[in-house]
Amino acid sequence: MLRLVRNSPITAMLMFAVAVGGNISAVWAANPTEYRCYRSLVSPVLDGRIESDPGWKNIPEMTGFFRLGGGYTEVKQTTVFTTWDEDSLYVGIVCEEPDMGAITGERGEGEDLWLDNSVEIFVYPKDSLRVLQFIANTAGSRRGGEGNPGSTEWQAAAHKGTDSWTIELRFPFPVLGRKPHSEEEWTVAFCRNIFVTTSGGDQFTSLSPLQNRFLEPENYSKLVFQDKALDAGQKAEQEARLNADYRGHLAGQLEAVAKDVVEYKEILDRASADREFAREAAALREEARTIERLHGQTQTAPLSELRRTAHDSRSLRKQLYDLKYKFLLKQLFE
């Protein structure tokens, strides 16, 4: 998305913070979110395949990407995992992509990857004067950006599925400038560029609520290193905490649709008894039942299912409206 230079305003801002106050952390006072980075039972294997990798099995997922300058993106959501071992920080990212067949012509190593379907990770280690930017695309090609981390000392591996692409990244601590200790806080941002929009979606999204561009450290999030691994129950608890706001957003959408479904219930019943509208009414009734079922399970249903249903419910509303007035017009003229 951005072409950033080494001597950037953010570096100057950090130097100013040191000069006037000696406390760089003051620059990041607006951090809105905290993510805890837990140890994995085994280190991830970098092959781009996250779901089958034991290294990610006990790591909580974080989702609910925002569109740049707005609320949650409604199409093509993204999920992030982070873990660490004695040597490196690992990041795993799952990118929903219903338009996988349209992704072609990926750029190679060191090219302008911010112009590709890609991810960008910004890392500001504790006590560092540099924000480090790492970019990788759907082919696993790499490029360093802000802070000039280069692309030879860190690794990326991507995998393309049928409706998503995934990428695993490994950042050795010497590349990041220091090795963290337990409870140490760094500042991070996980961002995504989307240039295939056949199925809709926002072009620039991020896990932190950024406003105008990806280089907005005042709106980045905290990454807090935890020197322990989680069991299945603890993982579920952390995922619930991390994704509570996003789940609430989806629950609110389903609540609104569920109310609409109740209002159309009578017309669906009447249309179902009409030979001309019976098939259409039956299909809409089945979709309405899915809404009603999930409306009662918003705290337990998988976020991916809630998101898909909430998105599809937009077309359901229009279809219900159209059916109602087609049916009423027929009755009127009869």
At residue 31, the pLDDT reads 40
Mean pLDDT, rounded, for 32-44: 90
- CATH label of the domain that carries residue 18: 2.60.40.1190
298 and 310 in one domain?
yes
Strands (DSSP E) along the chain, which ranges? 34-39, 62-63, 66-67, 78-84, 88-96, 118-124, 132-137, 142-144, 155-160, 164-172, 185-193, 204-206, 221-225
135 and 122 in one domain?
yes
- Whether residue 200 lies inside any domain: the answer is yes
Unique residue bearing structure tokens 């801002």: 13
233 and 106 in one domain?
yes
- Whether residue 4 lies inside any domain: the answer is no
Mean pLDDT, rounded, for 97-112: 94
159 and 61 in one domain?
yes
- Whether residue 161 lies inside any domain: the answer is yes
CA-CA distance, 187 to 25, in Å (whole number)?
9
315 and 177 in one domain?
no
pLDDT in tens, 221-277: 999 999 999 999 999 999 999 999 999 999 998 888 888 888 888 888 898 888 898
- Whether residue 3 lies inside any domain: the answer is no
236 and 271 in one domain?
no
CA-CA distance, 87 to 327, in Å (whole number)?
66
268 and 216 in one domain?
no
Q: Which of 242, 262, 279 is the last residue of a domain?
A: 242
- The count of structural domains within the chain is 2
Sign of CA dihedral 234, 239, 240, 241: positive
- Whether residue 2 lies inside any domain: the answer is no
- Whether residue 1 lies inside any domain: the answer is no
Measured distance between the N- and C-terminal CA atoms of the chain, rounded to whole angstroms = 58
Q: Which of 196, 216, 242 is the last residue of a domain?
A: 242
236 and 191 in one domain?
yes
282 and 237 in one domain?
no
Residue 3 above 80 pLDDT? no
At residue 24, the pLDDT reads 36
**Mean of the per-residue pLDDT values of the chain:** 87
pTM of the model: 0.84
| Full domain range(s) for residue 200 | 9-242
- Whether residue 219 lies inside any domain: the answer is yes
Mean pLDDT, rounded, for 291-297: 85
Confidence of residue 157 (pLDDT cuts 50, 70, 90): very high
92 and 38 in one domain?
yes
Q: Which of 219, 242, 265 is the last residue of a domain?
A: 242
Crossing angle (nearest 10°) for helices 278-295 and 303-333: 140
284 and 142 in one domain?
no
Q: Return the closest-CA partner of residue 137 out of 55, 189, 213, 194.
A: 194
Q: Return the closest-CA partner of residue 123 out of 221, 43, 24, 11.
A: 221
pLDDT in tens, 81-96: 999 999 999 999 999 9
CA-CA distance, 201 to 74, in Å (whole number)?
7
- Beta bridge partners of residue 93, listed in sequence order: 80, 167
253 and 142 in one domain?
no
- Whether residue 323 lies inside any domain: the answer is yes
Which element (helix H / strand E) includes 250?
A: helix 244-272
Gyration radius of the chain's alpha carbons: 23
